[in-house]
Amino acid sequence: MEKKDIDWSSLGFGYVKTDKRYVSNYKDGAWDDGALITDDMITMSECACVLQYAQTVFEGLKAYTTEQGKIVIFRPDLNSDRLESSAARLEMPVLPKGRFVDAVIQTVKANDAYVPPYGTGATLYVRPYMFGSNAVIGVKPATEYQFRVFTTPVGPYFKGGAKPITIKVSDFDRAAPHGTGNIKAGLNYAMSLHAIVTAHKEGFDENMYLDPGTRTKVEETGGANFLFVTKDNKVVTPKSNSILPSITRRSLVYVAKEYLGLEVEEREVYFDEVKDFAECGLCGTAAVISPVGKIVDHGNEICLPSGMNDMGPVTKRLYDTLTGIQMGRIEAPKGWIVEVE
């Protein structure tokens, strides 16, 4: 396979149309067999449930070229499980077991010329999603659905790559108590658009959302969970039932304990504690681990001791170990890496 002529190292986190995408339709209570197609356009009713009532859920994972030259994906079974719980929450059908991972593998294989080569810093982002496609005008779930997977080669989510970013404490909430913050539904991201545009206008890279019930505890950002490191090298990560259960965060907790021998606390984190942490990072598929250098709460600045130039030392060890596992430099726990080609 000949790679596409792309300047891989200068890719940002944007959409690049690739050759093939996977489509499967659900109708009359059953999924069809699914197929790879070339058409990137979707035609549907003006009254489709997704367009009127935002009935859509999605996932995000990446394909990597390893040091050995293989194409692999990272823990797709967990994306499959999460899509299942997101779909259930929005009254959408689930895919039969195995179909999700199979569709992801087929789509990555069909676009292998777009998987960035090892060492370029870029990866192939994979976006599986599902939406209610038939006309619905009363508020109720659709009866017809489409599941699709597309891919796009990407670079770092934040422009500076591994440079620490500055975030603000948002005045808006992205989730409601007992709402949908714990699933990956488009509606949560629609909720965050005004907040992110506001943050960018004010010169910040991202928002820190606090818990919507009391606004005293740290939740997450618009697209990543938080990881903090205490001055005595403990890893602390917020536990909440209104944040997305990040696969990266769950993997990093394992890496911290089992590979690096660090103590980890998954617990409620009060905003008042943040000033005492030594390091802060945002973790997610897109973000990997993006270091945070400064957190601003209505003019009150918290400057992390790790500074604005480099990742903190513990964050760096976590980053190096996780990406080492993903890129085949470090042996992975059983089942984490699925070979595509």
Is 62 catalytic? The answer is: no
C-beta of 136 vs 319, nearer to ligand COI: 319
Is 180 near ligand PLP (CB under 6 A)?
no
Closest approach, Cβ 225 to ligand PLP, in A, equals: 5
Tokens 């991972």 correspond to: 101
Binding window for ligand PLP (CB under 6 A); candidates: 63-71, 227-235, 245-253, 323-331 = 245-253
Binds 220, which of ligand PLP, ligand COI, none (CB < 5 to 8 A, cut-off by type)? ligand PLP
Taking the alpha carbons at both ends of the chain, their separation in whole angstroms is: 11
**Residues 41, 24: Cα–Cα separation, whole Å:** 14
Segment near ligand PLP (CB under 6 A); pick from 101-109, 143-151, 221-229, 301-309:
221-229
User: Which alpha helices (DSSP H) does 170-312 contain, by range?
Assistant: 186-201, 247-254
Phi, psi (rounded to 5 degrees) for 157: -70, -40
In the list 76, 223, 281, 293, the residue contacting ligand PLP (rule: CB under 6 A) is 223
Helix segments in 147-208, DSSP class H: 186-201
Whole-angstrom Cα Rg for the chain: 20
Q: How far is the CB of 326 from ligand COI (least distance, A)?
A: 14
| Distance of alpha carbon 104 from alpha carbon 83, whole angstroms | 13
Judged by CB under 6 A, which stretch of 40-48, 223-231, 260-268, 271-279 contacts ligand PLP? 223-231
User: How many Cβ atoms are within 10 Å of 330's Cβ, its own excluded?
Assistant: 15
Using CB under 6 A, pick the residue from 247, 253, 274, 325 that binds ligand PLP.
247
- Can you tell me which of 18, 107, 225, 326 binds ligand PLP, judged by CB under 6 A? 225
d(C-alpha 209, C-alpha 169), whole Å = 6
Interacting residues toward ligand PLP by CB under 6 A: 60, 220, 223-225, 244, 246-249, 284-285
Residues tagged active-site:
184
